[in-house]
Amino acid sequence: MPPPPPPFSSSSLLTRIASSTPLASLFSTSRLFSSPPPSPTSSPAMDRAAADDSLRKALAERQAAVDAQGNAVRALKAGKAPKPEIEAAIAELNRLKIDKAGVEKQLQAAVSGAAAGEGALTREAFRRLVANTLERRLFYIPSFKIYGGVAGLYDYGPPGCEVKSNVLAFWRQHFVREEEMLEVDCSCVTLETVLKASGHVDKFTDLMVKDEKTGTCYRADHLLKDFCNEKLQKDLSISAEKAAELKHVLATLDDLSADELGAKIKEYGITAPETKNPLSDPYPFNLMFQTSIGPSGLLPGYMRPETAQGIFVNFKDLYYYNGNKLPFAAAQIGLAFRNEISPRQGLLRVREFTLAEIEHFVDPEDKSHAKFSQVADLEFFMFPREQQMSGQAATKTRLGEAVSKGTVNNETLGFFIGRVYLFLTCLGIDKDRLRFRQHLANEMAHYAADCWDAEIECSYGWIECVGIADRSAYDLRAHTEKSGVALVAHEKFAEPREVEKLVIAPNKKELGLAFKGNQKMVIESLEVMGEEEALQLKAALESKGEAEFLVCTMGKSVIMKDNMVKISKQKIKEHQRVFTPSVIEPSFGIGRIIYCLFEHSFYTRPSKAGDEQLNVFRFPPLVAPIKCTVFPLIQKQEYESVAQLISRSLTLAGVSNKIDITGNTIGKRYARTDELGVPFAITVDSQVDVTIRERDSKDQVRVSVGEAASVVKELIDGHRTWSDIWSSFPHHASASAEEDE
Amino acid sequence: MPPPPPPFSSSSLLTRIASSTPLASLFSTSRLFSSPPPSPTSSPAMDRAAADDSLRKALAERQAAVDAQGNAVRALKAGKAPKPEIEAAIAELNRLKIDKAGVEKQLQAAVSGAAAGEGALTREAFRRLVANTLERRLFYIPSFKIYGGVAGLYDYGPPGCEVKSNVLAFWRQHFVREEEMLEVDCSCVTLETVLKASGHVDKFTDLMVKDEKTGTCYRADHLLKDFCNEKLQKDLSISAEKAAELKHVLATLDDLSADELGAKIKEYGITAPETKNPLSDPYPFNLMFQTSIGPSGLLPGYMRPETAQGIFVNFKDLYYYNGNKLPFAAAQIGLAFRNEISPRQGLLRVREFTLAEIEHFVDPEDKSHAKFSQVADLEFFMFPREQQMSGQAATKTRLGEAVSKGTVNNETLGFFIGRVYLFLTCLGIDKDRLRFRQHLANEMAHYAADCWDAEIECSYGWIECVGIADRSAYDLRAHTEKSGVALVAHEKFAEPREVEKLVIAPNKKELGLAFKGNQKMVIESLEVMGEEEALQLKAALESKGEAEFLVCTMGKSVIMKDNMVKISKQKIKEHQRVFTPSVIEPSFGIGRIIYCLFEHSFYTRPSKAGDEQLNVFRFPPLVAPIKCTVFPLIQKQEYESVAQLISRSLTLAGVSNKIDITGNTIGKRYARTDELGVPFAITVDSQVDVTIRERDSKDQVRVSVGEAASVVKELIDGHRTWSDIWSSFPHHASASAEEDE
């Protein structure tokens, strides 16, 4: 029987927002605006959902009370009741209305993600504030902006480009160097055959609907999602039951077939958002950018939708390069392209993005990992399948325990989960807004052994940023089959082993006589029999001399006689074991990680005068686009020369830095660099000593001109911490005074 | 008058082999196989071309002599001359034949690029040797190899990927950091409008011919080039005149129009290489990979053919980011895609490649460069236009002199030429096989002020690896015009300046009465008049009251009367100057540089036993894919632990290293790492001291276990040289003995 159609690589899920908890985790603004160090507490999604439910019920009760009292007032008026009685009833009605309005407000706040309370920002407002800062300071720019731009394409401007290259350099150090991976760099333009084998040509699709009059295209699930969300957020009058139904639709959105999606769209009367025209039925659209290789137009190609396939097709050479030894990992950083139907969510869903992927090849019979003990004691939020199904929240779990209990399938998968946790938190991702969520059975490919997503919470909800999947032997087998090149590993035995093997020997002559032109199909069916089936056939042939035998490719059974096939178990000596390695694949959406990093690093603090809020990115030095700024305190040639000298030393030491010799006040200059996330600033106010200021504490120390660059270098490299420096050098007293000079 | 159609960005030339000296520089093998440090001498192309010419003439003379003597012998035989006389004549004929064969051999050697002499390798053989090593050691792999591959697509395997990332990291340090450039990272998928404006949609084409029966496509110029080269190399009987004609065709190949190319192909009777079928006429094929953005199919897009356009369209934001100040440079490293018709030349002409481009924006009225003095004293091979035209060779020139004499158009262009020289030679490009060649007038875009290519000599000839062009204001103007967004710079005057400006004020009422529907065209013509033309018209109107006036868009002259237009010079106060900056563009073909680096770094040396030639890449530490290998001398647990310890220290210090604990002889292990270009090897043969071996000298020193990693780190970072180490540590005596142990 042919296997079910192959789903595409799990990394393709990277562009999908985890949809199982779409309304989970309403924002607590106190967390967004806390000053460093942040100490947010985890807020379990399920608690909030329950609160939401009870608010809806309370609101319905209040509404009923208002209605009842309204009727009572009308009855009193109709019955010409005494005026004081009517007035008292009206007063009670007003009280009930106020009461209802209060509950309404609470529910409104809950569904729109804002915490109740003064000065609270909704998550949308927070997102706008961050986006505004990012665009204004050129962290990113919509591509081809002067031509109106295109949805889903963004350029990284200078600070964004620096952040990206810092993140990638750290990725290379943390994974490739530390784990001695084989890094490769493969073509983006990809032969159709490769993506046929991987399943992308046939299966890498999203369901699309068209405005039947204008032809504008939409993602079918997006329209349904928007409808449900809007209904839940804006229409407070819907019953708790209706709300539950809509939430169920949201939770199962990814599982809906084209027909089911179409039916829901019809049921809810959803129309095209701009025109309100009717919509077509949903149909699949392949998300790969197609092109043609060479001038003939006969060789179709695609821009790769992931980097993994480049590694799989090179497995044989890489295995050889590694001395024909397992386990080993290959890694690749590179662009991937997905022609999204209608990209939204800014930097999170784009048509061109950088992936960093690891394919760790391992013997399927031994998935232990030599270095697992190094990460076993890490503790972080894990969200296993069972907890999701039973409505519990993610809990802090010791990784070693999750593996030993079997929650995480094997040590190698566990090892990578631990390394991913370290990677993300070193970059500055808030560990309390990071969780590892296990795929539900319906999310996972049929061949996958286990799959965990590193999800990061940001203003868009919980975002899948890294997928870590045990994909078993699926990919290598698919390319072995299609290319005819065996992508396998060998284990040489120290001594030959005697093994019992089933041998199926068709008698071609007899089969030819009996089945003529169908002979080949019969032989194939015989050869692919499983052990159990073969032994049953053997028994039947031995006892009855003939047996019915199903030939799938002919679609019917034939009569097999005992002279047509010899089935036996033989002992043979094997010198090696040949097998297809399993692959464990951590796949990083670099752009998504960076975007979440932007949100987690952003905070505001009042200016000294208190008249405005200043923006700060609390990037760690590792990530900061510029590590240090150098300012002459005032415009003076001597100070400028010293500043140039220090800047030059920093550059030679490989520390990216920027001189600011504008005549702006020092406070303005600090504010400007805080907004770029520059961790340290050197201010030159003498030719002997200078001050070094730390961004988040705003503390300043006095350091000699000669030492300044090397002190900053040590801070940047992590050889000394700010508190080391703070305790080693004289403090600068006039620090805060200068900020708003 | 409309300007001539805009040629595409000069960087597009990066995929073209400089064709003006296609047969220049036959290889002197002694250079290829010299042991480090190499000290090749420059071999002027023109000398060789002259030698080739005189050999052809000599060969024709010898052939004539052989023919004459043959006739004489036949005449003697026919005349029944005495036997001794005939025998003497035959002996002379044989002498002449041997003489001719000698000349023929010399010519053959000259045209095929082999130096005469024993053991010499032809350039093809050398190339095969390098390519074999590169492929076997996985520096690169043909993409999708298990599916048969695709011409022009290659993957970098582990060592190639490391070399590439080292080259890019150094590029970033040498250019972006040192010159404080604004690095950006823009989309590869590009809107058609952008590439319409840049001229790529209309002009980025190569001429193609098709096999008229099979439809197979070929580059028309390639077929003509192959024909000429083959004729010159294989048919030694052609006259010096014919040879000169073919060489002229080769030299002017890039200038031939479709018609001229077609005529040559017909004249020479060139047919399809495989089938010998007739060929179609040449026609243009656009080299961009086309695709479609979004699902509607209505938004055409292309994979960018260069990275430069991403910078140009972002100019306005970048200028603002730079505090609205000139000069500044933006830089970008990224992929570019060109759908070559039939890629050849391995890694040099590929369909997907990494470009690193700088766009340095500068005031067109001041192209001086503050740091020019830092590079002015550099001396290297320059090949100005005049020297190419007059048949002279490239000469060593002081950069400062080339700029002061005006050979190089301006200081900024000169500065970048100097920085490119430093960049390439630091990587390990042989300075004697590197030259800066100025574009000839016919190679340069009409708007370009000057253009120099850094060309590197390898087995394919002189290869353009970096283009350094002063593109004037062309690109920014093109996008200003198309987008309607002014991509300009401002220079604020300290005090307002009084300037005299020509003011042309058409009288619309009178013009409307006179020209009715043509009024608009007349007004446009009036407004675009140059100063001189306007003043002539003014004079004519003032003296005669009317004048003839040519309206281009109407294709005829009209009679202009003095009441129809007022032309005057007025003094006005200007507070700032608004202008389109010039752009100076150094554009690096990273893959080409890396390939040339491979060839320049490769050499062989005999094994100790003398029974084989061992391959070595003499990469500098900066470039080497792995900086250090660590070997236990023999398989012993104590040594292995020490090796692990040292390896771990190296990794923590960011030094890429590899442990080899195989049981191979130390000689085999050294040979294996030499072939990967690993500069240093640490061999562990005690728990106290270890040896460090330098790759090229094979010298070894003894260093304590604790110091080993830090010594290597200092060597890698360039803080100490090998000779420092050699003079500071005890030498290891048994060094050479161990090599072939």
Cβ distance of B162 and A183 shorter than 8 Å: yes
Mean pLDDT of chain A: 87
Q: Which residues pair with B381 in a beta bridge?
A: B396
CB nearest A177 (choices: B217, B296, B651) = B651
What is the predicted pLDDT for the residue at A25?
A: 30
Q: Give, as one character, the DSSP assignment of residue A611.
A: S
CB nearest B313 (choices: A146, A189, A217) = A146
Classified as helix, coil or strand, A171 is: helix
Tell me, yes or no, if B654 comes closer than 8 A to chain A by beta carbon. yes
B residues 343-362 closer than 8 Å to A (CB): 351-352
Is the pLDDT at A131 greater than 80? The verdict is yes
Mind telling me how many Å the CA of B354 is from chain A's nearest CA? 11
Q: How many CB pairs under 8 A join A and B?
A: 218
Is the pLDDT at A86 greater than 70? The verdict is yes
Q: Look at A442-451, A717-726, B178-187 and tell me which has the smallest mean pLDDT.
A: A442-451
Chain B residues whose CB is inside 8 A of the A487 CB are 146
Read off the pLDDT of residues A627-678 as tens digits, 9 standing for 90 and up.
Answer: 999 999 888 889 999 999 999 999 888 898 999 888 788 888 999 999 999 9
Complex ipTM more than 0.85, yes or no: no
Is the pLDDT at B63 greater than 60? The verdict is yes
Nearest CA to B259 out of B278, B225, B282 is that of B282
The average pLDDT across B634-640 equals 89
Alpha-carbon Rg for chain B, nearest whole angstrom, is: 32
Q: For chain B, give the percent of residues with pLDDT over 90.
A: 59
**What does the block give as tokens for A85?**
């009685």
Mind telling me how many Å the CA of A571 is from chain B's nearest CA? 34
Cβ distance of A290 and B292 shorter than 8 Å: yes
Where is pLDDT greater, at A190 or B38?
A: A190
Is the pLDDT at A44 greater than 70? The verdict is no
The average pLDDT across B377-394 equals 92
Is the pLDDT at A590 greater than 50? The verdict is yes
Tell me, yes or no, if A294 comes closer than 8 A to chain B by beta carbon. yes
Residue range A626-739 in CATH 3.40.50.800: yes
Instruction: Say if CB B410 and CB B440 are below 8 A apart.
Output: no
pLDDT band at A524, cuts 50/70/90? confident
What is the predicted pLDDT for the residue at B47?
A: 57
Cβ distance of B180 and A658 shorter than 8 Å: yes
Give the whole-angstrom CA distance, residue B394 versus residue B376. 19
pLDDT band at B10, cuts 50/70/90? very low
What is the predicted pLDDT for the residue at B647?
A: 94
Read off the pLDDT of residues B480-533 as tens digits, 9 standing for 90 and up.
Answer: 999 999 999 999 998 998 888 888 889 988 888 888 888 888 888 888 787 888
Cβ distance of B339 and A294 shorter than 8 Å: yes
What is the predicted pLDDT for the residue at A249?
A: 87
> Whose structure tokens read 């000429």?
B228
Other beta carbons within 10 Å of B73? 18
pLDDT band at B238, cuts 50/70/90? confident
Give the whole-angstrom CA distance, residue B426 versus residue B418. 12
pLDDT band at A30, cuts 50/70/90? very low
Give the whole-angstrom CA distance, residue B678 versus residue B547. 80
Give the whole-angstrom CA distance, residue A644 versus residue A631. 9
Cβ distance of A317 and B157 shorter than 8 Å: yes
pLDDT band at A232, cuts 50/70/90? confident
Cβ distance of A185 and B143 shorter than 8 Å: no
What is the predicted pLDDT for the residue at A112?
A: 62
Cβ distance of B194 and A144 shorter than 8 Å: yes
A residues 673-702 closer than 8 Å to B (CB): none
Where is pLDDT greater, at B610 or A335?
A: A335
pLDDT band at B35, cuts 50/70/90? very low
Q: Look at A76-90, A224-238, B114-128, B220-234 and tell me which has the smallest mean pLDDT.
A: B114-128
Instruction: Say if CB A294 and CB A320 are below 8 A apart.
Output: no
Tell me, yes or no, if A269 comes closer than 8 A to chain B by beta carbon. no
pLDDT band at B50, cuts 50/70/90? low
B interface mutation test: which of A138, A175, A185 has the most B CBs within 10 A?
A185
Nearest CA to A273 out of A341, A229, A216, A231 is that of A216
Give the whole-angstrom CA distance, residue B139 versus residue B291. 31
B interface mutation test: which of A189, A209, A211, A652 has the most B CBs within 10 A?
A189
Tell me, yes or no, if A292 comes closer than 8 A to chain B by beta carbon. yes
Where is pLDDT greater, at A256 or A161?
A: A161
Tell me, yes or no, if A168 comes closer than 8 A to chain B by beta carbon. no
What is the predicted pLDDT for the residue at A50?
A: 67
The amino acid at residue B130 is V
Q: Where are the domains of chain B?
A: 36-114, 205-286, 493-579, 626-739
Cβ distance of B339 and A293 shorter than 8 Å: yes
Instruction: Say if CB B7 and CB B446 are below 8 A apart.
Output: yes
Mind telling me how many Å the CA of B319 is from chain A's nearest CA? 11
Phi, then psi, of B343 in degrees rounded to 5: -65, 140
Architecture of the domain defined by B205-286: 2-Layer Sandwich (3.30)
pLDDT band at A113, cuts 50/70/90? low
* Alpha-carbon dihedral sign for residues B396, B400, B402, B405: negative
What is the predicted pLDDT for the residue at A47?
A: 57
Cβ distance of A293 and B351 shorter than 8 Å: yes
Q: Give, as one character, the DSSP assignment of residue A361.
A: E
What is the predicted pLDDT for the residue at A233?
A: 81
Chain A residues whose CB is inside 8 A of the B150 CB are 191, 293, 299, 301
Cβ distance of A187 and B153 shorter than 8 Å: yes
Cβ distance of B145 and A339 shorter than 8 Å: no
> Whose structure tokens read 């029944």?
B80
What is the predicted pLDDT for the residue at B49?
A: 63
Chain A residues whose CB is inside 8 A of the B158 CB are 182-184, 318, 321
CB nearest A150 (choices: B186, B293, B483) = B293
The average pLDDT across A37-51 equals 48
What is the predicted pLDDT for the residue at A427?
A: 97
Read off the pLDDT of residues A565-577 as tens digits, 9 standing for 90 and up.
Answer: 998 888 888 899 9
Classified as helix, coil or strand, B31 is: helix
Cβ distance of B294 and A339 shorter than 8 Å: yes
Chain A residues whose CB is inside 8 A of the B291 CB are 289-291, 303, 339
What is the predicted pLDDT for the residue at A256?
A: 86
Tell me, yes or no, if B184 comes closer than 8 A to chain A by beta carbon. yes
Classified as helix, coil or strand, B215 is: coil
Q: For chain B, give the percent of residues with pLDDT over 70.
A: 91
Buried b (16+ CB within 10 A) or exposed e, B484-509: eeebbbeeeeeeeeeeeeeebebbee
pLDDT band at B112, cuts 50/70/90? low
Compare all CA atoms of chain B with the CA of A193 and give the residue at the minimum distance. Answer: B147
Mind telling me how many Å the CA of B156 is from chain A's nearest CA? 5
Question: E strand or H helix at A481, and its extent?
Answer: helix A474-483
Q: Look at A112-116, A630-634, B323-327, B454-458 and tell me which has the smallest mean pLDDT.
A: A112-116
Chain B residues whose CB is inside 8 A of the A194 CB are 144, 147
CATH topology of domain B493-579: 3.30.720
Tell me, yes or no, if A319 comes closer than 8 A to chain B by beta carbon. no
CB nearest A483 (choices: B146, B160, B487) = B146
Compare all CA atoms of chain A with the CA of B476 and give the residue at the minimum distance. Answer: A146
B interface mutation test: which of A146, A172, A302 has the most B CBs within 10 A?
A146
CA angle at B451 for the pair B449 and B452, rounded to the nearest 5° = 155
Q: How far is CA B588 from CA B356, B593, B713, in A?
A: 5, 8, 29
The average pLDDT across A498-513 equals 87
Is the pLDDT at B11 greater than 50? The verdict is no
Compare all CA atoms of chain B with the CA of A206 and give the residue at the minimum distance. Answer: B295
The average pLDDT across A293-314 equals 93
Compare all CA atoms of chain A with the CA of B332 and give the residue at the minimum distance. Answer: A161
The amino acid at residue A114 is A
What is the predicted pLDDT for the residue at A104?
A: 82
Tell me, yes or no, if B28 comes closer than 8 A to chain A by beta carbon. no
pLDDT band at A119, cuts 50/70/90? very low
Is the pLDDT at A329 greater than 90? The verdict is yes
Through-space distance between the first and last CA atoms of chain A, rounded to whole angstroms: 79
Is the pLDDT at A740 greater than 90? The verdict is no
What is the predicted pLDDT for the residue at A48?
A: 61
Where is pLDDT greater, at B40 or A461?
A: A461
Read off the pLDDT of residues A336-361 as tens digits, 9 standing for 90 and up.
Answer: 999 998 888 888 889 999 999 999 99
Count of alpha carbons within 13 angstroms of residue B355, beta-carbon side: 34
The amino acid at residue B321 is Y
Give the whole-angstrom CA distance, residue B593 versus residue B174. 15
Cβ distance of A352 and B160 shorter than 8 Å: no
Nearest CA to A92 out of A117, A110, A120, A71 is that of A71
Tell me, yes or no, if A718 comes closer than 8 A to chain B by beta carbon. no
Classified as helix, coil or strand, A577 is: strand
